Amino acid sequence: MFYLAFLPQFISPGDWVLGKSLLLAGIHWVEGIIWLTALSLFLGTVRPWITGRRIRRAIEATSGGIMIGFGVRLAVERTR
């Protein structure tokens, strides 16, 4: 669905639709692979720091507080 909604705006009326669609989808795929590789390498290097006891407790406390805040917001929100 993403490609059907997003890619047509980059295809000119005179272009070969299949070829340009495959090219743009291929570029998106390569960018995704590069991003996920960089993210994996980064997280691999900071893993010892993130998995430390103090940092893990801080992350859990922060995410728990955010979830509680979302719950409170949902509870007090009015239906329209």
Q: For the residues of 16-69, what is the DSSP string, one character each?
A: -HHHHHHHHHHHHHHHHHHHHHHHHHHHHHHHHHHTSHHHHHHHHHHHHHHHHH
Residue 39 inside a domain? The answer is yes
Residue 80 inside a domain? The answer is no
- Print the domain residue range for 33: 17-74
Question: At CA 37, angle to CA 32 and CA 41, rounded to 5?
Answer: 150
Residue 25 inside a domain? The answer is yes
What pLDDT score does 3 carry?
81
Residue that wins the pLDDT comparison between 6 and 20: 20
| Domains in the chain, number | 1
Residue 2 inside a domain? The answer is no
pLDDT over 80 (residue 79) = no
Residue 29 inside a domain? The answer is yes
What pLDDT score does 2 carry?
80
What pLDDT score does 80 carry?
58
Give the pLDDT mean for 49-62: 92
What pLDDT score does 40 carry?
96
Q: Which residues contact 7 (CB under 8 A, 6 or more apart)?
A: 21, 24, 25
Q: Are 21 and 28 in contact, with CB atoms under 8 Å apart?
A: no
With the C-alpha atoms ordered 2, 34, 55, 52, is the resulting torsion angle positive or negative?
positive
